[in-house]
Amino acid sequence: MEQSTADGLQAAGVRRSFGNVVAVESMSLNAPRGQVTALVGPNGAGKTTLLLVLATLLVPDAGEVSVAGFDPVGDPASVRARTGWMPDSFGSYETLTAREVLEFVAAAYRLPAARRAERAGELLALVHLSEYAERPVHVLSRGQKQRLGLARALVHDPPVLLLDEPAAGLDPRSRIELRALLRGLAGDGRAVLVSSHVLAELEETADRVVLVDRGRTVSQQRMADLDLGQLRPWRLRALDAAALTAALDARGVDHGPPSPAGVEVLLAGDAAAAELLAALVQDRVAVVSCAPVAGSLEAAYLAMTESRR
């Protein structure tokens, strides 16, 4: 059955407990096709449990779930055929080569025999592991295994991707490549759900963010809407720090002490920053940089977890 492109991933009021430990109390999220949705929350917030429900491994105690238009409990096979899942921690068949692992997974997803070797080659190239194709998995580094895990999730070209901490253990170059890869996958019309702690990464990758804490969805919004009207620190740097602080004082903008990194000011969003910058340029201050001290995602995350401390 062909699904419309609107069918990404929807979950509403999902609840799951293990014995008397409630792992997920009430989580809702929406991951539309063509977008990268970030699932963000502290350790133990229930992210992995939610992903296990979406990946057809756990029956939720309550709630409605639809993955690619199918119910993971009622019709797990249809969901599996359309979902690529990469767990947060996973093992691998250490004695097999990278190519053999992917060919087996391809067979397990019932790709025709003639297509398996070809698909394994494509995926190895995609995650830059071609030169390790014939090497046993146990010689791969952690980051390389992580990339193999991602390739594994993509074997059957699924329209929905569930990636649990895909950036863990990746070196800076691999992270940048992962970012481009995720954007590309979403660009092909896939629904990509990524959980991660590396907020700076998600900031540049995600279209939407779902903040979760203690088993509940705290908020769910577009990244662009994240910091509307919220005061947060920005850092300004100019060729002449004294001129900068003088200009700020003249305009009555509260600021912190000058440091080699620059001067911090509190601003409410991008528009306010642009306005201040224009004014400073008008005052002939040679500003060389103006950027938020922390990403908007980090700020939202810190605001959410404030109460925990």
The residues that touch another protein, with contacts defined as CB under 8 A, are 18, 52-53, 55-59, 72-73, 76-77, 80-81, 83, 85, 87-93, 95-96, 100, 104-105, 107-110, 152
Q: Which is nearer to another protein, 34 or 87 (CB)?
A: 87
Q: Which is nearer to another protein, 153 or 263 (CB)?
A: 153
Q: Which is nearer to another protein, 28 or 92 (CB)?
A: 92
Residue 219's Cβ-count burial label (10 Å; 0-12, 13-18, 19+) is: middle
Smallest distance, another protein to C-beta of residue 97, A: 10
Do residues 188 and 8 make contact, with C-beta atoms less than 8 angstroms apart? no
Smallest distance, another protein to C-beta of residue 104, A: 5
> What is the rounded distance in angstroms from the CA atom of residue 232 to the CA atom of residue 237?
17
Q: Which is nearer to another protein, 195 or 205 (CB)?
A: 195
Residue 296 in 3-state DSSP? helix
Q: Which is nearer to another protein, 43 or 95 (CB)?
A: 95
Smallest distance, another protein to C-beta of residue 105, A: 7
Of 100, 93, 90, 155, nearest to 123 by C-alpha is 155
Of 80, 46, 43, 86, nearest to 63 by C-alpha is 46
Smallest distance, another protein to C-beta of residue 96, A: 7
Do residues 235 and 263 make contact, with C-beta atoms less than 8 angstroms apart? yes
Smallest distance, another protein to C-beta of residue 85, A: 5
